[in-house]
Structure 1
Amino acid sequence: MSIRPETDEYPALAEQYVRLVPEGSLKIILQNQHDITRLLLGGLTEEQAAFKYAEGKWSLKTVVGHIVDVERLWNYRILRIARGDVRELPGYDRDIFALEAPFEDLPFIEVLKDYSAVRQSSITLINHLSESIMLRRGEFQNHPLSARAAAFIIAGHETHHMNVIKARYLLP
């Protein structure tokens, strides 16, 4: 799956993520993202993972956990669309998720293991869907959403947050 989704396949808010995905095979992009993220974050200490760059901001550990939770949500949306359940897909409240998530209490290595497990699940799910299934659409935020666009949003969302991590958390 190398063809970028059209703008009518996702809500306007998702454009910020879709545009961050480079050209190429999404399956390869997702695997490469995983490998780079694990390499970049795998050697961090608990102290580094607990770092917050400003008052009221999430720790690095929570940001990675947020990436995991959001990827799970988009996988659910992909699965619903792929299986033909095209009813309105629910949103979520990221602040409630972050507040209720266990990430701050987990060793960072466990958060990274969770990240890897979810990413491998994403890759497996996407690999098992045909091009025609990836073009199927459901409804999200009163707008059509294709399974393909949802997969691109996964990649773009991680890129967005990894850019923030590099700029704000991994100080030279």
Structure 2
Amino acid sequence: MRPETGTYPQYFDHYIALVEENEVQSALKNNTDEFLKFLDSLPAEKAEFAYAKDKWTLKEVLLHITDAERIFAYRALRFSRNDTTPLPSFDENEFIEFANSGKRSLQSVIDEFKTVRSATLSLFNSLDNDELTRKGIGSSQTCTALAMGFIIAGHTKHHIKVIKENYL
């Protein structure tokens, strides 16, 4: 099942629309295969490249994808467990500012993503339909665990496009 409009903040429409699959587990599995293949094709010499002043480097974009996935998966876990405690937003620019990407290799950033995605897959593979449709509040907006999974996959697809257009 796909998330229905109204079960997530409207500003995530773009990410969810990028996901072609109709089940979150297959969406995340296929997205993982696509993204890992894409990561293998990235030239190491582009790791520190930023396409404009004040834009993130390629490594920073990859760290952003991983950071956002961790946060979205955590929200999905909390929502699926019927936790209605409002969860705060996060400032992606502050996260990147303090990520120390310059001290890391491109491979270490890729390896971190693989670890996080493995945990995300495990989480979503463990959730049944009741758990997936439970709601919570993140960034002052109501969302379901199911929608969080589609947002994770769509967010990654969005950044594949950004990387192809601006970094390669």
Task: Name the amino acid aligned to 2:153.
Answer: A
Q: CA RMSD in A?
A: 1.4
> What residue in structure 2 maps to residue 11 of structure 1?
9
Deviation at 1:44, TM superposition (A): 3.3
* Number of matched pairs: 168
For the residues of structure 2 that align with 1:162 and 1:41, how far apart are their CA atoms? 9
**TM-score (ref. length: structure 2):** 0.93
For the residues of structure 2 that align with 1:22 and 1:104, how far apart are their CA atoms? 35
For the residues of structure 1 that align with 2:149 and 2:43, how far apart are their CA atoms? 31
Matches within 5 A, 1:109-120: 109-120=107-118
| Unaligned runs of at least 5 residues, structure 1 | none
For the residues of structure 2 that align with 1:82 and 1:24, how far apart are their CA atoms? 19
**TM-score (ref. length: structure 1):** 0.91
The alignment-based identity, stated in percent, is 38
> What residue in structure 2 maps to residue 94 of structure 1?
92
The reply on whether 1:80 has 2:68 as its aligned counterpart is: no
Q: Contact conserved, 2:35 with 2:156, CA < 8 A, in 1?
A: no
1:43-101 per-residue CA deviation (whole Å, 9 max, x = no partner) reads 43432111111111101111011000000000110111112211212110011001011
Q: Contact conserved, 2:3 with 2:146, CA < 8 A, in 1?
A: yes
Deviation at 1:114, TM superposition (A): 0.5
Q: 1:147 aligns with which of 145, 148, 152?
A: 145
Q: 1:59 aligns with which of 57, 60, 71?
A: 57
For the residues of structure 1 that align with 2:7 and 2:20, how far apart are their CA atoms? 18
Task: Name the amino acid aligned to 1:136.
Answer: R
Q: 1:133 aligns with which of 121, 131, 134?
A: 131
> What residue in structure 1 maps to residue 121 of structure 2?
123
Task: Name the amino acid aligned to 1:73.
Answer: I
> What residue in structure 2 maps to residue 34 of structure 1?
32
| Unaligned runs of at least 5 residues, structure 2 | none
